[in-house]
A and B are shown apart, each in its own frame.
Chain A
Amino acid sequence: MGSADAATVRGVTSDPLAGIPPSPAVWCSGLRKRYGRRTAVDDVSFTVGRGEVVGLLGPNGAGKTSVIKMLLGLVRPDAGEVLLLGRPSTDPRSRSAVGYLPELFRYQPWLTAAEVLDLHVKLAGADVDASERRECLALVGLAERAGDRVGGFSKGMQQRLGLAVALVARPELVVLDEPTSALDPLGRVDVRDIVLSLKSRGVAVLLNSHLIGEVERVCDRVVILDRGRVAASGTLAELLGQREVRLRLAGADGPAEERMRAAGALTRSGDWFTVQLTSDDDGVTVPDLVRDLVGLGVRVHAVEPVRISLEERLLAVLRHEEVAP
């Protein structure tokens, strides 16, 4: 039983920190970095909650990797603050429970895959036994190559090894910078499963990827960077905004249109009616609407949910076609 639980049982709050939610996995504020005359990162702030999966999106040169490196203390910010798992990033201990797969993944070519993991377990000061290390290699599909020198690995295998390195020391935060850049489609699915598995275990993940579909599948929230600034951020529901439903109807008269307007803003094109649903829709609006339309004698030929994709939203934000939320 933990100390906080013990205090609750006794009815005495002995630990003043008990009950306070843990600090976010990542908290950064006002990050700024210039390389010569070029501003790479300008006033970037965001948080990644414990157990949350956050996607970092943006075009090439948007500053995503620079932001990640500043979070991990690899690049010194010109301004701004970073807290990792509650500690300032200037303190090396802030990285005790952080796993990192860099965009430029390269490991000692004269070591074997198992030795690379041993090295990182030692550097992390973690207590991870040999069987757990082997499991970690097996998780990324390298169990058979544990004793082979990294120098003989393909790029895809090196990236898989990098993933194992990021996961081996029981991290509470995993930072993955383009984790599928060298992987085949099967490898990409593996990475998606690994991220979902981390999420289910309450491990926070910061994911930088160009594969918007992957980000959309696994991320709780998204931060979009453009030219070094946060162009938009929020949960997928917030970013993707209102959903729509398209209906192909026959015999829709005044009362039917009134019913549809009650569900949301209505537009009509021939037999097709488009109803905009609110973002706080609880999932019963569409079934109820269809039931009522049938009740009004309308023939329902088709019901199609229409949802703006993250890709469309990203492009709209980057092309400045709409105001960021």
Chain B
Amino acid sequence: MIALTVAGLTLREAFRRRVVWALLVLTVVLLALSGWGFSKLIGLDTDLGTMTSGEARLIASVLLNLIMFGFSLIAAIGTAFLAGPTLSGEVESGQALAILARPVRRSSVLLGKWLGLLTFGCGYVVVAGLAQLLVVRWAVGYWPPDPVAGLLLLAAETVVLLTLALLLSSVVSPLASGIISVGLFGATWVAGVVGGIGAALGNEGVERVGSVSRVVLPTDGLWRGAMNAFQDPFALAQMGQGEAGFPFLSDAPLTAAYLVWAAVWIAVVWGLTALSFQRRDV
């Protein structure tokens, strides 16, 4: 009950602070631009002649993943900067005093914040992502093989990042927690690209950089799973072995074990946050 009240409060904050409206405007602009770009793709004349439908589908896959990455980045930054001020910011400003002096468990307050942010972040990713898929379908007639899994994995990626931002928010200042979580998100993505290049070159050491980073912070792993669900299955084969390691195509779907690990990671980080918040003097 307390958790639902706090979740509602968190969502109301996102609306009242105009975060939602700012994201909405940004998303509509991005959707319109991508619709215009995709519509130009058909019948595009290149130096090698008019693009075949297979090539158009390949490029649509790549572009779709690129735009989806843009959405996941917006959701990541949005939730990280919303999650950042949520614990440490409220403690610093004094807002937490009146709330935590009520007959509430701190874990319930934390759960409420987490649920509110989760609803916000996942809601955004799913709605914006679905809108993008519809725009691509309208423009080039491409529909991804597994859109539901793709959107859910994008949402899961957002959950991982907001859980991390909440943990950081319970121990460092509001701004620092936002910057660190977005920085780690970017670093993991870069590590994933480096690992992909390592795999393409057959260098196990470099490849391991990507594998380790995907275990430490599952955002990049989940993102790769989402890409795999969005892209044309023939696109990768068409690109050929020489293009392996390309950052906007994924060569394999996620394993069940990795999904379990991502769930365990979220649970462990959430537990650490609850412990840290429980012990914190406000």
A and B together in one complex: yes
Chain A contacts to B: CB under 8 angstroms:
69, 72-76, 92-96, 98, 100, 102, 104-108, 110-111, 119-120, 122-125, 162, 165, 175
Pick from B11-19, B121-129, B184-192 the stretch touching chain A.
B11-19
Interchain CA distance A122-B7 in the complex, whole Å: 13
Say yes or no: A110-B98 contact (C-beta < 8 A), given A75-B282, A96-B103: no
Contact check, B102 vs A123: say whether CB atoms are below 8 A apart: yes
Q: Tell whether, in the assembled complex, residue B281 and residue A162 are in contact, meaning their CB atoms are under 8 Å apart.
A: no
A104-B94, A104-B97, A106-B94 known; A93 vs B103 contact (CB < 8 Å): yes
Write the nearest CB–CB distance from B191 to chain A, whole angstroms: 38
Interface contact A122-B5, CB-CB below 8 Å = yes
B99 in the interface (beta carbon within 8 A): yes
**Shortest distance from the beta carbon of A127 to any chain B beta carbon, whole Å:** 14
Q: How far is the CA of A75 from the CA of B100 in the complex (A)?
A: 11
Contact B103 A69 (CB under 8 A): no
CB-based A-B contact count at 8 angstroms: 70
Assuming A110-B13, A123-B2, is B95 touching A100 (CB within 8 A)? no
In the complex, the answer to whether B101 meets A100 with C-beta atoms within 8 Å is yes
- The docked-state distance in angstroms from the alpha carbon of A73 to that of B105 is 10
Q: Pick from B13, B93, B97, B99 the residue with the most CB of A within 10 Å.
A: B97
Q: List 23 A-B contacts (CB under 8 A).
A: A69-B282, A74-B97, A74-B101, A74-B282, A75-B281, A75-B282, A92-B103, A92-B105, A95-B102, A100-B98, A102-B97, A102-B98, A104-B94, A106-B93, A106-B95, A106-B97, A108-B9, A110-B13, A123-B5, A123-B104, A125-B1, A125-B103, A175-B101
CB neighbours of B279 from chain A (8 A): 76
Q: B95 and A107: CB pair below 8 A? A: yes
- Given A110-B13, A123-B5, answer yes or no on A69-B102 (Cβ-Cβ < 8 Å): no
**Complex: A123 Cα to B101 Cα, angstroms:** 10
Q: Which 5 A-B pairs have the closest CB atoms?
A: A104-B94, A110-B16, A123-B102, A102-B97, A106-B94
Using known A-B contacts A107-B95, A110-B17, A122-B5, determine if residue A102 contacts B281 with beta carbons closer than 8 Å: no
Nearest neighbor of A166 in chain B, beta-carbon distance: B98
With both beta carbons as reference points, the residue of chain A lying nearest to B102 in the complex is identified as A123
Q: CB distance A124 to B102 under 8 Å? A: yes
Q: Are B13 and A108 in contact (CB under 8 A)?
A: yes
- Chain B 12-44 interface 0/1 with A at a Cβ cutoff of 8 Å (1 = within): 110011000000000000000000000000000
- A108 contact set on B, CB distance < 8 A: 9, 13, 95
- Nearest Cβ distance between residue A253 and chain B, in whole angstroms? 65
Which of chain A's residues have a CB closer than 8 A to the CB of B98?
Answer: 100, 102, 105, 107, 120, 162, 165
Interface centre among B95, B98, B279, B282, by most chain A C-beta atoms within 10 angstroms, is B98
> Would you give the 0/1 interface string for B73-99, flagging 1 where the beta carbon is closer than 8 Å to chain A?
000000000000000000001110111
Number of interface residues of B (CB under 8 A): 23
Whole-angstrom distance between the alpha carbons of A5 and B78 in the complex?
Answer: 60
Q: How far is the CA of A175 from the CA of B102 in the complex (A)?
A: 12
Contacts of A124 in B (CB 8 A): 102-103
The one of A74, A93, A96 in contact with B100, judged by C-beta atoms closer than 8 angstroms, is A74
The answer for the CA separation of A300 and B69 in the assembled complex, in Å, is 96
Besides the known contacts A106-B95, A123-B103, 8 further A-B residue pairs in the complex with CB atoms under 8 A apart: A72-B101, A96-B103, A108-B95, A111-B12, A119-B9, A123-B2, A123-B99, A125-B103
**In the complex, chain B residues whose CB is within 8 Å of the CB of A96:** 103
A241 CB to nearest chain B CB (Å): 36
Distance in Å from the Cβ of B185 to the closest Cβ of chain A? 27
B275 to chain A, nearest CB (A): 13
Chain A residues with CB under 8 Å of B281's CB are 69, 74-76
Bound: A92/B105 CA distance, A: 6
Point out the residues of chain A lying under 8 angstroms from B93, CB to CB: 104, 106
Identify which of residues 255-282 in chain B touch chain A, using a CB-to-CB cut-off of 8 Å. Answer: 279, 281-282
User: Least Cβ distance of B174 to chain A in Å?
Assistant: 14
CB distance from B89 to the nearest CB of A (A): 11
Residues of B within 8 A of A110 (CB): 12-13, 16-17
Residues of B within 8 A of A94 (CB): 103
Residue of A nearest to B279 (CB): A76
Cα separation A106 to B97 with both chains bound (whole Å): 8
Q: How far is the CB of B82 from chain A (nearest CB, A)?
A: 13
Nearest residue in B to A70 (C-beta to C-beta)? Answer: B281
Give every chain A residue within 8 A of B16 (Cβ-Cβ).
110-111
C-alpha spacing A268/B100, complex, angstroms:
59
Determine the distance from Cα of A305 to Cα of B220 in the docked complex, in whole angstroms: 81
* Inter-chain contact B103/A100, CB cutoff 8 Å: no
Count chain B CB atoms within 10 A of each CB in A69, A96, A98, A119 and give the residue with the most.
A119
Closest to A175 in B: B101
Complexed CA–CA distance, A295 and B80 (Å)? 87
Chain A residues within 8 Å of B105, by CB: 92
Q: Is the CB of A95 within 8 A of B103?
A: yes
A96 to B5, CA, bound (A): 16
Complex CA distance for A120 and B9, rounded to whole angstroms: 12
Contacts of A107 in B (CB 8 A): 95, 98
CB distance from B92 to the nearest CB of A (A): 10
Measured CB to CB, the closest approach of chain B to A88, in angstroms, equals: 13
Structural contact, A92 and B97, CB atoms closer than 8 A: no
Contact A100 B5 (CB under 8 A): no
Determine the chain B residues whose CB is within 8 A of the CB of A162 once the complex forms: 98
Alpha-carbon gap, A13 to B12, bound state (A) = 53
B1 proximity list for chain A (CB < 8 A): 125
Which residue on chain B has the smallest CB distance to residue A102?
Answer: B97
Q: How far is the CA of A80 from the CA of B1 in the complex (A)?
A: 31
